[in-house]
Copies of this chain bind each other. A is one copy, B any other.
Amino acid sequence: MGIVLGDNQYGKAETRVVWVIRDGPRHDLRDLNVSISLTGDLAATHLTGDNAQVLPTDSQKNTVYAFAKRHGVDQIEDFGLLLARHFVTSQPSITRARVDIEQYAWQRLGPHSFQRAGAEVRTASVTVDGDATRVVSGLTGLVLLNSTDSEFAGFVRDPYTTLPEAHDRILATAVDARWRHAGPVGAGPAADGTGGWADSHNRVRAALVAGFVETYSRSLQQTLYAMGERVLRECAGIVEIRLSLPNKHHLLVDLTPFGLDNPGEVFVATDRPYGLIEGMVRRDDAPTAKGAS
């Protein structure tokens, strides 16, 4: 019985790069947080401290900056692909590279002036593993609330159940979504042939929001499925979507001690604990992808 090195990876996390496009009086900008993780023949550094196969994480950071200048940043999926392919092709010891990118949105105020646009973040996770390429697009921090058309009833009542049925409640969540694209991914338009990554992102986002807004909800699970199903129905290029939806509970306050009724008006917004509803919706003919989460 021996002791051995198992799965391992390393890289530079959270390189914050801002790229300003200044090819005219009207600037634009991209604001990214890039995390890189490399896998390969890395036993030597673990076992003996021999770093002959180790590209410093500092060099990975420099690569992010240099690629932003050399190639620009249009869509984060493409920028992630460029970076991931670079590490796998240029480093003999590296067989797999994963690049996770967060993009922070800015709203234009003027030719060279911008305002940070909220807490919503667009994401991409790109993995190049030998010849295989996977792109998972996503978003986080999209906080949605319906003030009615939500109930929760007919549930299991076990000996620890005290929750009353709710026939009109607030439903609120912070959407964390990640979706896989169909077919081979190219640097051009999106896999569904419509308009590339940005258009794909916008259409998925719109379907998620519409699914939340337009669903009369009997459970957050039902809303989750409705959101995911709508994305797949409306976006032909998407084969699978994973949703993680915290149930941000808003509890109705009992105002009867103060001689007041409270017909769905005054709520406490709670922090913890919270429900957490997680699920995947997919096409039944889509190949499952390991590691695409």
Give A contacts to B, CB under 8 Å. Answer: 1-22, 27, 29, 31, 35, 37, 42, 45-63, 65-66, 68-70, 90-91, 93, 106, 109-110, 112-119, 142-149, 152-163, 170, 209, 212-214, 217-219, 221-222, 224-225, 229, 232-233, 240, 242, 246-247, 250, 253, 255, 257-258, 260, 262-285
Contact A62 B266 (CB under 8 A): no
Contact A59 B161 (CB under 8 A): yes
Contact B69 A276 (CB under 8 A): no
Contact B54 A155 (CB under 8 A): yes
Contact B47 A225 (CB under 8 A): yes
Number of this chain's copies in the assembly equals: 4
Contact B29 A152 (CB under 8 A): no
* A interface majority secondary structure: mixed
Contact B170 A221 (CB under 8 A): no
Contact A266 B68 (CB under 8 A): yes
Contact B57 A247 (CB under 8 A): yes
Of B12, B56, B58, B156, which one neighbours A54 at CB under 8 angstroms?
A: B156
Asked whether A7 and B273 contact (CB < 8 A) given A148-B22, A266-B17, the answer is no
The complex places the Cα of A47 from the Cα of B222 at a distance, in Å, of 6
Asked whether A55 and B161 contact (CB < 8 A) given A69-B255, A147-B112, the answer is yes
Of B54, B68, B142, B284, which one neighbours A221 at CB under 8 angstroms?
A: B54
The complex places the Cα of A4 from the Cα of B241 at a distance, in Å, of 11
Asked whether A49 and B163 contact (CB < 8 A) given A112-B149, A145-B114, A265-B69, the answer is no
Residue of B nearest to A243 (CB): B8
Q: Which residues of B contact A233 (CB under 8 A)?
A: 3
Of B143, B262, B277, which one neighbours A10 at CB under 8 angstroms?
A: B277
Of B66, B117, B267, B280, which one neighbours A260 at CB under 8 angstroms?
A: B66
Contact B271 A271 (CB under 8 A): yes
A12-B274, A51-B219 known, 11 other contacts, Cβ within 8 Å: A5-B281, A8-B221, A9-B278, A12-B275, A19-B265, A22-B264, A57-B273, A69-B265, A91-B158, A113-B212, A115-B145
The complex places the Cα of A77 from the Cα of B51 at a distance, in Å, of 38
Of B12, B209, B229, which one neighbours A109 at CB under 8 angstroms?
A: B209
Q: Which residues of B contact A118 (CB under 8 A)?
A: 116-119
What's the nearest-Cβ distance from chain B to residue A180, in Å? 11
Asked whether A267 and B156 contact (CB < 8 A) given A8-B278, A65-B255, the answer is no
